[in-house]
């Protein structure tokens, strides 16, 4: 490397002879120092390359599928590089450049240390989101018809009256309402109604494979403190022809046969805690299990809460009140894992396409850190599914992915 030294003398011609001599001597010293640096450059470059094997940030070199072979490269393995920047004020704006001549893919995972030791990575903290709720405003009907009471025998005309139907909220947290109207007897009728989306639910899931029964799916349903009432039921979608829910004296399970728009894809199994088992109140959790030979994939789940059975008052409510009440569309819904037949014996190319399709959903659900998601996306776009397999355990141990992702991708290894 050639280095040029440029000296710019003062433009002022009134410079003393003593000062000029000093500047000249300084230039001579600098030139001599530059010669020494050039002489020692080969030795310092060799020492620098040797020291780099123990300095810097951690990275993992993975061989990409279809990459060109390299007879002079060392085998692919995990390497550690450290860059000691403690007590260096400029470290906050510094950069480390890695010169890699390998033909293989390079995946870099930075790990940050403080003077006291290893610190937590600056990546986002994984925290599963509660099941999503649709915005729905329950309000009194804006128009209604009068009710016929009887036929006037003299005029042979209907005698009708105004039922005045209305809806009044009386418990905002539990989402309980009064359904009121004037009855046929002229007295006010009141029915207590509770919306089924009165709960806040977080679901975590994992699938464990066993040689005999295929996969055991375990769902932990947490009824958050912010919920307005107890958990009434939990439903899981699946795309398998062979699913067996685990039932007991405390838990009932069965197929949901609902043909509404929100539940018309795949199959749905609903779990419900039964008395005398204590209700799953806000702040409590419960586990549900099912078994299937089908590997895990991304599916939907739903939950409902509170007491949605309305106590009658001896007559039907006005039809305008009844049609104002929401149906299954307001149930909290989200994503989890479940049996999927189509993932059996799937070629590698289809597994990659499937993961690329659902990867944005993983990140939206906060099941994966943004940094890990970017690394997975790069590997998948290169067709390097094995690269993800090789780092899966490490990502799970460092809380970079949740059990759901660990289970789905882990199931693709077989």
Which of 290, 321, 342 terminates a domain? The answer is 342
User: Could you give the maximum distance between any two Cα atoms of the chain, in Å?
Assistant: 134
pLDDT (0 to 100) of residue 74:
64
Structural domain boundaries enclosing 164: 147-193
Instruction: Determine, yes or no, domain membership for 267.
Output: yes
d(CA 357, CA 231): 32
What per-residue confidence (pLDDT) applies to 269? 95
Residue 170 sits in the same domain as residue 240:
no
Is residue 360 a part of any domain in this protein?
no
Is 229 among the domain residues? Answer: yes
Q: How far is CA 58 from CA 65, 78, 343, in A?
A: 22, 8, 34
| Count of domains observed in the chain | 2
**Is residue 327 domain-resident?**
yes
Q: Are 205 and 177 within one domain? A: no
Alpha carbon 135 to its chain centroid, in Å, reads: 21
- Do residue 277 and residue 319 come from a single domain? yes
327, 342, 357 - which closes a domain? 342
Neighbours of 359 (CB within 10 A): 17
Assess whether 129 and 275 both reside in one domain: yes
Residue 94 is assigned to a structural domain of this protein: no
- Distance from C-alpha of 314 to C-alpha of 323, rounded to nearest angstrom: 19
Sheet with 267-273, strands from edge to edge, namely: 251-255, 267-273, 231-238, 296-305, 333-339
Between CA 334 and CA 214, with CA 408 as vertex, the angle to 5 degrees is 110
Segments of the chain scoring below 70 in pLDDT? 1-80, 82-98, 101-124, 259, 276
């Amino acid at each position: 490397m050639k280095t040029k030294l440029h000296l710019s003398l003062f433009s002022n011609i009134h410079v003393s002879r003593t000062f000029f001599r000093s500047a000249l001597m300084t230039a001579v010293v600098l030139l001599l120092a530059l010669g020494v640096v050039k002489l020692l450059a080969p030795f310092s470059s060799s020492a620098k390359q040797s020291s780099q094997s123990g300095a810097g940030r951690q990275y993992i070199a993975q061989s990409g599928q279809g990459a060109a072979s390299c007879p002079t490269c060392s085998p692919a393995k995990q390497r550690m590089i450290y860059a000691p920047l403690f007590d260096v004020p400029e470290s906050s704006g510094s950069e480390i450049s890695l010169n890699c001549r390998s033909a293989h893919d390079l995946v870099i995972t930075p790990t940050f240390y403080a003077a006291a030791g290893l610190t937590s990575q600056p990546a986002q903290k994984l925290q599963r989101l509660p099941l999503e709720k649709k915005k729905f405003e329950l309000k009194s009907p804006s128009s209604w018809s009068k009710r016929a009471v009887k036929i006037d025998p003299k005029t042979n005309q209907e005698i009708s009256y105004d039922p005045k139907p209305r809806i009044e909220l009386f418990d905002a947290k539990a989402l309980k309402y009064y359904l009121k109207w004037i009855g046929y007897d002229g007295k006010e009728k009141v029915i207590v109604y509770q919306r089924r989306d009165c709960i806040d639910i977080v679901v975590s899931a994992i699938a464990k494979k066993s040689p005999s029964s295929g996969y055991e799916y375990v769902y932990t349903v947490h009824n958050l403190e912010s919920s307005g009432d107890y958990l009434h039921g939990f439903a899981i979608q699946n795309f398998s022809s062979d699913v067996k829910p685990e039932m007991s004296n405390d838990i009932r399970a069965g197929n949901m046969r609902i043909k509404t728009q929100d539940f018309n894809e795949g199959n749905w199994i609903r779990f419900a805690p039964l008395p005398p088992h204590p209700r799953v109140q806000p702040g409590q959790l419960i586990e549900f299990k099912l078994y299937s030979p089908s590997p895990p994939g991304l599916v939907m789940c739903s939950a409902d809460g509170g007491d949605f059975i309305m106590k009658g008052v001896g007559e039907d409510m006005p039809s305008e009140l009844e049609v104002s009440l929401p149906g299954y569309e307001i149930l909290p819904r989200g994503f989890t894992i479940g049996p999927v037949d189509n993932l059996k014996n799937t070629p590698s190319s289809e597994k990659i396409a499937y993961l690329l399709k659902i990867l944005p959903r993983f990140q939206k659900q906060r099941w994966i850190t943004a940094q890990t998601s970017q690394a997975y996306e790069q590997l998948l776009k290169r067709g390097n599914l094995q690269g993800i397999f090789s780092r899966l355990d490490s990502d799970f141990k460092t809380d970079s992915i949740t059990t759901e992702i660990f289970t789905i991708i882990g199931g693709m290894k077989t």
